[in-house]
A and B are shown apart, each in its own frame.
Chain A
Amino acid sequence: MRITQSMMTDRLLSNLGKSQERLARASEEMQTQKKLLKPSDDPVGAQRAVLTRGDLTANAKYSDNISQARGWMQTASDSMDEVTKLLHRAQELTIQGANGATGDEARKNIAAEIDQIVEAVKQAGNTNYAGTYIFSGTATTTKPYDTTTVPAVDTYQGNTGVIAREIGPGVSVQINTAVNSGTPPILGSGGSDGGLIATLRNISAHLKSGVPADAAALGTTDVKALDANLTALNKAQAIIGATVNRLDAADDRLSSNKLASTQLLSDTEDVDAATAYLNLSTTQSVYEAALKAGATIIQPSLLDFLS
């Protein structure tokens, strides 16, 4: 092939341009530490990166949901502990009241304490976590128990709704404890539903009445009713514990998913630092070699050798 000066110059320029393009790319990869800078660099990788980034964002949110749910469960568990303590105290008092040696006056004093316990139980039922009443079912802005009206109203003001938190894709978990459903209900709605409040009100009435049959009931049916309430309470505590375990497990799973997704994203998007550095220095030396070759071939022509 016949070669002309302009051909050599054109080729040199075009090759220098290509070299420079590669150099720019290599240095951009070094600067950003990313090999996937635009979708066309790796279309399938870009699609995967978009989905994986979405997964990571979702994961972070699920993690956030879990920690919020855990706070809720902790508060619920604390309230239930308090109610358990109150129930134990009520058991002691009831057994004391059932004792034949206890006089009517002493029984009335015990009854007054039991009434206080009822108020304390209702206070525990009104526990509020981050602005929501946690034992109100889904009526989270309504106090479950009225603690102000005199004479006392024991009616449960909440509902039986379920509150769930999403802790993973398509996985939600119930976080609220229903205190007015089940037989007997845990706290109940007063009256004769067998809930703790109803039992305590019964005991108080029996202590106050001074009728022998009532005093006898204290040691038999009332103690049994309290036992049944304690069982219901323990059951609720067990469910809370199990839910917390489930949250922990989900959190662990999210952590390992996060690790895997981050790894996948990094494999897709990030450059291997050593490779990027090697790539940069290789393209740099190629560019320098092209420049050098250019300087060598451009200069001489026959003109230089004619006198």
Chain B
Amino acid sequence: MANGISSFFGLNTALRGLQASQASLDVTANNIANADTEGYTRQSVQLQQFVGAKVNTGALANGGGALIGGGVDITAYQRARDVFADLQFRTQSTVKGETSTLASALDNVELALNEPGDEGISALLGQFWDAWQEVANHPEDDPTKSALVVNAQALVDGIKAFDDNLQAIKTNAANQFSAYTSAKGEVLTDAQTIAKLNQQIKEATAAGQQPNALLDQRDLLVDKLSALGQVTVTELPYGSIQVAFGNVNPPLLVDDSTAWTPTAPATTLYATPNPGGKLGALQDISKTGGTIDQYRADMDAFVNQLVSSVNTAHGAPFFTAAGTTSATMSVAAAIVSNPSTVRTTNLAGSPAGANDVALAVAALRAGTADRSYAGFVLRVGSETRDVHRRDTAADAVLSAASDRRTSISGVSVDEEMANMIRFQRSYQAAARSMSTMDDMLDQLINRTGRVGL
């Protein structure tokens, strides 16, 4: 019975088993080594049965033949990655980037506002009205008027300091935005790296190699970009990708191995619609008519209300009439240089003890200006609270998305240990089957034909 299979066939089968087990052990070791590497994707060896030998037709009892397995083949080193989990993670990462940036900016606004308390603008406003009351009590007394002017200046300084803080927050956001989007900024350098990786990946893929490490690096960069703005990834042949960033319309940030080169002004990608993410938030904060500008407008409305109502009641400019914004507000120069010119009465001959004007100004207390300021505090409070609520929600969703992804791609040391034992055992078994073959051949070669010796 000749089946046409070599006596040494089994040795080769065992060898393939040994090699496969060793490759699996290598991958396991790599997984364990990278268990804490950011962006690392768990890998596994894909095995397939190797069709090794042909049993000749007629060799079997029923007259048939067969193709029999000759061991195992390694078909791929697979990355455990789910593109949908990536998509979900990146979408949430964009949301979280936006809410956390907004939250920190609004926190700064709240900090600058310093309300409710004894050091905020409302306390200064209270002291200002108190000073007017005191002038109404002692209209003939110049030191009282000087005290009023000092209090008024403290109020102006307080309002200006808050406005300066708002402007600083706005400028800071604008600076951060330009830092991210400048030629040396994160967006463009990442884009260039992705383009280079694309080139390397393409070359490796074309050469039939699996560039797992490069793919991990590229995915990590796209993840980072997704916190800055919305990202859309389109697959290209040979493992290359296109990345659309921010504004969904062209130009693409990365197209295959080409990174976008900005033409001045470099705003195309970040223009309306809002790019979302951290950049979107920074844009919302710093743009003309954005969050900070709206707050400043609210404060200006309050200042305008205060200045015009005090001046009207005073009958002459107490505050400089033209200074109706936080930035331009000031106590009238004539009043500062000579506090005794604070008017206390409109009566003919200005009797020293008449206080009708001072009373009229003092009566503005708790009026429209005070209420408009309190309304502003309410606005800042509710917007900050709302952003924090959104941030907390985004955080929860992001960590769920991240968990889902890690659950697919992450390295479990326990699992790797179990696999290690498994692969070690199969290595041992393959080795045993090889030595069994060896014993068999030893028997055949050394012990046959020695009858009677």
Quote the shortest CB–CB distance from A243 to chain B (angstroms): 16
Contact (Cβ within 8 A) A302 B414: yes
1/0 per residue A35-47: CB within 8 Å of B? 0101111111011
Quote the shortest CB–CB distance from B338 to chain A (angstroms): 18
- List the B residue with the shortest CB-CB distance to A38: B110
Is residue B235 contacting chain A, with contact meaning CB distance below 8 A? no
Is residue B442 contacting chain A, with contact meaning CB distance below 8 A? no
1/0 per residue B326-368: CB within 8 Å of A? 0000000000000000000101000111111001001101100
Is residue A121 contacting chain B, with contact meaning CB distance below 8 A? no
Is residue A58 contacting chain B, with contact meaning CB distance below 8 A? yes
Of B126, B141, B362, B414, the contact of A54 (CB 8 Å cutoff)? B126
With contacts A6-B410, A50-B373, A269-B116 taken as known, whether A169 is within 8 angstroms of B355 at the C-beta atoms is no
Contact (Cβ within 8 A) B417 A301: yes
In the complex the two chains form, what is the Cα distance from A136 to B378 in whole Å?
Answer: 48
In the complex the two chains form, what is the Cα distance from A161 to B355 in whole Å?
Answer: 10
Of B36, B111, B353, the contact of A139 (CB 8 Å cutoff)? B353
Contact (Cβ within 8 A) B126 A166: no
A residues in contact with B352, CB < 8 Å: 138-142
A residues in contact with B234, CB < 8 Å: none
- List the A residue with the shortest CB-CB distance to B362: A166
In the complex the two chains form, what is the Cα distance from A145 to B355 in whole Å?
Answer: 23
Contact (Cβ within 8 A) A53 B408: no
With contacts A54-B370, A306-B417 taken as known, whether A163 is within 8 angstroms of B412 at the C-beta atoms is no
Is residue A49 contacting chain B, with contact meaning CB distance below 8 A? yes
Is residue B140 contacting chain A, with contact meaning CB distance below 8 A? yes
106-162 of chain B: CB within 8 A of chain A? 106, 110-111, 113, 115-116, 120, 122-123, 125-127, 129-130, 133-134, 136-141
Is residue B375 contacting chain A, with contact meaning CB distance below 8 A? yes
With contacts A39-B378, A40-B384, A43-B381 taken as known, whether A5 is within 8 angstroms of B362 at the C-beta atoms is no
Is residue B321 contacting chain A, with contact meaning CB distance below 8 A? no
Of A6, A64, A166, the contact of B411 (CB 8 Å cutoff)? A6
The CB with the most chain A CB atoms within 10 A, among B115, B129, B141, is that of B115
The CB with the most chain B CB atoms within 10 A, among A38, A64, A130, is that of A38
Is residue B174 contacting chain A, with contact meaning CB distance below 8 A? no
With contacts A6-B406, A7-B403 taken as known, whether A61 is within 8 angstroms of B130 at the C-beta atoms is yes
A residues in contact with B385, CB < 8 Å: 40-41, 43
In the complex the two chains form, what is the Cα distance from A272 to B388 in whole Å?
Answer: 25
With contacts A43-B378, A51-B370 taken as known, whether A10 is within 8 angstroms of B351 at the C-beta atoms is no
B residues in contact with A31, CB < 8 Å: none
Is residue A116 contacting chain B, with contact meaning CB distance below 8 A? no
117-163 of chain A: CB within 8 A of chain B? 130-132, 136-142, 159, 161, 163
Is residue A68 contacting chain B, with contact meaning CB distance below 8 A? yes
Of A5, A41, A169, the contact of B366 (CB 8 Å cutoff)? A169
Contact (Cβ within 8 A) B414 A6: no
Is residue A253 contacting chain B, with contact meaning CB distance below 8 A? no
Contact (Cβ within 8 A) B122 A54: yes
Contact (Cβ within 8 A) A138 B347: yes
Is residue B267 contacting chain A, with contact meaning CB distance below 8 A? no
With contacts A137-B353, A269-B116 taken as known, whether A58 is within 8 angstroms of B365 at the C-beta atoms is yes
Contact (Cβ within 8 A) A55 B413: no
Is residue B402 contacting chain A, with contact meaning CB distance below 8 A? yes
With contacts A5-B413, A7-B410, A161-B347 taken as known, whether A50 is within 8 angstroms of B359 at the C-beta atoms is no
In the complex the two chains form, what is the Cα distance from A61 to B127 in whole Å?
Answer: 10
In the complex the two chains form, what is the Cα distance from A131 to B353 in whole Å?
Answer: 11
1/0 per residue A1-25: CB within 8 Å of B? 1111111001100100000000000
Contact (Cβ within 8 A) B413 A302: yes
In the complex the two chains form, what is the Cα distance from A143 to B370 in whole Å?
Answer: 40
With contacts A50-B122, A54-B366, A166-B363 taken as known, whether A131 is within 8 angstroms of B378 at the C-beta atoms is no
Is residue B377 contacting chain A, with contact meaning CB distance below 8 A? yes
A residues in contact with B363, CB < 8 Å: 166, 169-170
A residues in contact with B412, CB < 8 Å: 2-5
A residues in contact with B136, CB < 8 Å: 165-166
A residues in contact with B414, CB < 8 Å: 5, 301-302
Is residue B15 contacting chain A, with contact meaning CB distance below 8 A? no
Contact (Cβ within 8 A) B377 A47: yes
Is residue A278 contacting chain B, with contact meaning CB distance below 8 A? no
Is residue A249 contacting chain B, with contact meaning CB distance below 8 A? no
Of A46, A57, A161, A169, the contact of B353 (CB 8 Å cutoff)? A161
Is residue A211 contacting chain B, with contact meaning CB distance below 8 A? no
In the complex the two chains form, what is the Cα distance from A296 to B21 in whole Å?
Answer: 34
Is residue A112 contacting chain B, with contact meaning CB distance below 8 A? no
Contact (Cβ within 8 A) A164 B355: yes
With contacts A5-B413, A53-B123, A61-B130 taken as known, whether A163 is within 8 angstroms of B403 at the C-beta atoms is no
Of B106, B116, B359, B403, the contact of A166 (CB 8 Å cutoff)? B359
- List the B residue with the shortest CB-CB distance to A171: B363
With contacts A10-B402, A57-B126, A164-B359 taken as known, whether A44 is within 8 angstroms of B378 at the C-beta atoms is yes
Is residue B382 contacting chain A, with contact meaning CB distance below 8 A? yes
With contacts A57-B130, A138-B347 taken as known, whether A51 is within 8 angstroms of B374 at the C-beta atoms is yes
In the complex the two chains form, what is the Cα distance from A130 to B353 in whole Å?
Answer: 12
A residues in contact with B375, CB < 8 Å: 47
Is residue B29 contacting chain A, with contact meaning CB distance below 8 A? no
B residues in contact with A163, CB < 8 Å: 353-355
Is residue A213 contacting chain B, with contact meaning CB distance below 8 A? no
Contact (Cβ within 8 A) A5 B140: no
A residues in contact with B397, CB < 8 Å: none
In the complex the two chains form, what is the Cα distance from A65 to B136 in whole Å?
Answer: 10
- List the B residue with the shortest CB-CB distance to A9: B36
Of B127, B359, B377, the contact of A172 (CB 8 Å cutoff)? B359
Of A4, A39, A164, the contact of B381 (CB 8 Å cutoff)? A39
Contact (Cβ within 8 A) B378 A7: no
Of A14, A47, A136, the contact of B399 (CB 8 Å cutoff)? A14
In the complex the two chains form, what is the Cα distance from A157 to B368 in whole Å?
Answer: 41
Which A positions have Cβ atoms within 8 angstroms of B? Answer: 1-7, 10-11, 14, 36, 38-44, 46-47, 49-51, 53-55, 57-58, 61-62, 64-65, 68, 130-132, 136-142, 159, 161, 163-166, 169-170, 172, 269, 301-303, 306
Q: Which 4 residue pairs are nearest across A and B when measured between Cβ atoms? A: A39-B381, A140-B353, A43-B381, A138-B351
> What are 6 A-B pairs with beta-carbon distances under 8 A?
A61-B129, A65-B137, A68-B137, A140-B352, A141-B353, A306-B421
- 16 other A-B residue contacts (CB within 8 Å) besides A4-B413, A169-B363, A302-B413: A43-B381, A44-B378, A47-B374, A47-B378, A49-B115, A50-B115, A53-B116, A53-B123, A61-B133, A64-B133, A68-B137, A138-B345, A138-B353, A163-B355, A165-B136, A301-B413
